Amino acid sequence: MKESFAADLKPGQAVHTTFLVQSKELKKARTGSTYLEVRLQDSSGAILGRMWEVDREEFDFEPNDLVRVKAQAEEYQGVIQLRVRAIARHRADADLRDYLPRGRRDPEAAFAWLLERLRRMPEGPIRQLLLAVMEDEGISSRFKLAPAAVLYHHAYLGGLLEHVCSLVELADRVADHYPELNRDLVVAGIALHDLGKIEELSYQGAFHYSTRGQLVGHIAIAVDLVRDKMKELPGFPAELRDRIEHMILAHHGKLEFGSPREPMFPEALVVHYLDDLDSKLESMRAQYAADRGRPGDWTTRNRALGRELLKPGAAAEAAAEAPGKPAE
């Protein structure tokens, strides 16, 4: 059984527990001495560790291995880190669920909700396509498990599915407000925009990019996956094909953000902005959770947003956690 978790560590605490290795690197200190830097994770989060003045270059572990660590927890610039005394590969059996971050929703229940929503769509090529994709066991088994990112947002098992379910709910609300939108087209863009993440990311151990993900990227992978499904549907409309592929290609919004096209019709614009909103709000939520015990009014720097975040006040936190009540 794992003895302690990264998120619970306090400054000065002696640490003797196991972690999954995200990365390891030998570096040179300003004094010229060599030190080992490791990024470690468990289901509660990630933590940086350093072993100073190492006298060897070989260690018996690699990224994605489990290791047993003896260390002292220290605070540096408001962030808990580990001063590692000893680290070695952990060869005993372990439950990987203790080492991989997981979402708040049960993936089977979330996927059942998504399928039920798609099945309520009117008969037609969009419904046919979405069900052909989501009812494919080779796709759905990975879609339920994949994170939405390695680090920046929804970076946990089932994160991609949670992200898409959240976006579908938002899409329905936006389509209610703007009745001129093609609701089904927006839902299609939402459901398919990040489909390539199931191949771009590797999530059997510490999250990282697959070789195909590094070379091709999730946008191009998604277009390939969706186009293959369209070919299985006789007579799929060419214009609809182009619009769906455009929403996938344009969902990052800007050329400099990785989209080969920028949104060129309303539904594509909605997909982009909802995706951007949901991912950034989740990044903020995760930052607040990670810094809950940190003193002061500000979080540590959020890497996705490139800035520190003002913490909600105690009253705001209490209101956010309280059950809703009817407006007066």
**DSSP letters of 28-83?**
E-TTS-EEEEEEEEETTEEEEEEE-S---S--S--TT-EEEEEEEEEEETTEEEEE
> Where residue 315 falls among pLDDT bands split at 50, 70, 90?
very low
Residue 102 in 3-state DSSP?
Answer: strand
Kindly report, residue by residue over 260-288, the tens digit of the pLDDT: 999 999 999 999 999 999 999 998 988 88
Q: Are 106 and 143 in contact (CB under 8 A)?
A: no
Residue 303 in 3-state DSSP?
Answer: coil
Q: Are 157 and 141 in contact (CB under 8 A)?
A: no
User: Running DSSP on this structure, what letter comes out for residue 313?
Assistant: P
Q: Are 51 and 40 in contact (CB under 8 A)?
A: no
pLDDT of residue 155: 80
Tell me: pLDDT of 319 over 70.
Answer: no
> Where residue 323 falls among pLDDT bands split at 50, 70, 90?
very low
pLDDT of residue 316: 54
Q: Are 143 and 111 in contact (CB under 8 A)?
A: yes
> Where residue 45 falls among pLDDT bands split at 50, 70, 90?
confident
pLDDT of residue 287: 87
Tell me: pLDDT of 228 over 70.
Answer: yes
The mean pLDDT of the chain is 89
pLDDT of residue 317: 56
This prediction's pTM: 0.77
CA atoms of 136 and 49, how far apart (whole Å):
42
Continuous segment of H or E residues that includes residue 46: strand 45-51
CA atoms of 253 and 77, how far apart (whole Å):
34
What is the widest separation between alpha-carbon atoms in the chain?
69
pLDDT of residue 258: 83
pLDDT of residue 96: 74
Tell me: pLDDT of 170 over 80.
Answer: yes
pLDDT of residue 178: 98
> Where residue 46 falls among pLDDT bands split at 50, 70, 90?
confident
